[in-house]
Amino acid sequence: MGGMASPRRDLAVRAAVAQGLLTPGSPVVALLDTAGIRASAAALTSAFAAVTQAGVLHAFAVKAAPLVPVLRLLAEAGIGAEVASPGELALARAAGVPPSRTVLDSPAKTPAELREALALGIAVNADNLQELARIDALVASTPTASPLGLRVNPQVGAGAIGALSTATATSKFGVALRDDGAREAVVQAYLDRPWLTRLHTHTGSQGVPLTLMAEGVRAAYELAEEINTKAGRPQIDTLDIGGGLPVNFASDEETPTYADYARLLAGTVPGLLDGRYRLVTEFGRSLLAKHGTVLTRVEYTKTSGGRPIAVTHAGVQLATRTVYAPEAWPLRILAYDPEGRPRTGGTTVQDVAGPACFAGDLLAAGRALPLLHPGDVVAVPDTGAYAFAHHYAYNSLPRPAVHGFTVTGDGAGDGTVAFALVRPAQTPEELVAEAGGGHADALVR
């Protein structure tokens, strides 16, 4: 899927140092490989085009990388937006994603959110029957062009990471199909609402095997078939099968692929792909993770209890999940010298620490790497999703600058790297403003 191959990444690291993006005064920066993002988008669209002739809307899960230039890049590559909050909708609109290519999912939509979406003609998936009743009133009062659906939980089980498994027996998402009376209630809800034409499910993401994802899709397909049979017409014309393709964080290899998943769906749910149903997908992490890298300078090195420790400026504020759940979210660490050239030679078991004031702020513990020195550059690949775009403001650490990059030339060691600013670094003045600096006397008047 066009991941950030090592030669392109190595060129970008050295160029970031040479062009002054990473300096002693700006010791952490994030990079996005635009060619890799485009390649992943192309891999997704071609994988599904190979298994179905029906229309497919691939809607990027904005939560995975809520950056307007990224959404614009994806939109130009034919990818829409799946949004789950007013903020994410605002980002998608700012990126120029049209309502017809936007899908609103959320378990807690307010009446105002629903009214806005229906007024714009954005597709809406209700999370539960109470929300469906709320939509009833809105549809009755004001006609809408929005395609409308309902999310169901097929309750097919959990993957390796419970917090990211959304089709468990007690998941907070969707209508639980195996609960007593639930399936019958869902079928009746559709028969009572001729305008309800979509069905949505999502089994989970990282840690969820492809076979479990496909089983969740099959359950939704079988429900759609049942509803259409009882309605006596193809009332449900679109199945939103969610996203969730897991990412390999162990190497540069991109596996599994979208083609793997599309072929599995073709074998598991052939009726889904026979042209009768349009599809919506909602992939996020798998489109962006492999194309982002955090760079940080090593500020100090020390030894504690006989173990070397490299103290850097990247930690919990950028790799929050890794710091708090390292077993579930391990990240690779790559070592470069102060000029951004890969360090080679023997390895030493060492810790790579972040700047936050708590003991658990470690990017990696007991990792075998070339021995790091002050001024060296540490690169943390596979951080393009759910990492530097989701800043965690521990210790009031500032958000880093994010730059996209392109490589011209052969891309195998001699290319030229051009950077484009995606988001500027957060300034001290912006930090103070966010912390109520304009209201300093509010509590002492």
The CA angle 131-241-232, to the nearest 5 degrees, is: 70
Structure tokens at 220: 């939704």
Phi (first) and psi of residue 280, to 5 degrees: -125, 135
Place of tokens 């009572």: 192
Strand partners, 349: 368
Which residues, in sequence order, are CB contacts of 72 under 8 Å at separation 6+? 95, 96
Among 112, 140, 357, 443, the one annotated catalytic: 357
Could you give the CA distance from residue 15 to residue 416 in angstroms, rounded to a whole number? 8
Helix (H) or strand (E) holding 349: strand 348-353
Per-residue exposure over 418-433, b if at least 16 CB sit within 10 Å of its own CB, e if not: ebeebbeebeeeeeee
Could you give the CA distance from residue 70 to residue 92 in angstroms, rounded to a whole number? 10
Could you give the CA distance from residue 108 to residue 442 in angstroms, rounded to a whole number? 32
Quote the radius of gyration of the chain (alpha carbons, Å): 23
State the sign of the Cα–Cα–Cα–Cα dihedral 277, 280, 286, 292: positive
Structure tokens at 298: 């090593």
Three-class secondary structure of residue 24 per DSSP: coil
- The bridge status of strand 123-126 relative to strand 238-240 is unpaired
Q: DSSP string of 374-387?
A: TT-EEEEES-TTTT
Judge whether 2 counts as a catalytic residue: no
- Cα–Cα nearest to 387, from 291, 276, 303: 291
* Residues carrying an active site annotation: 357
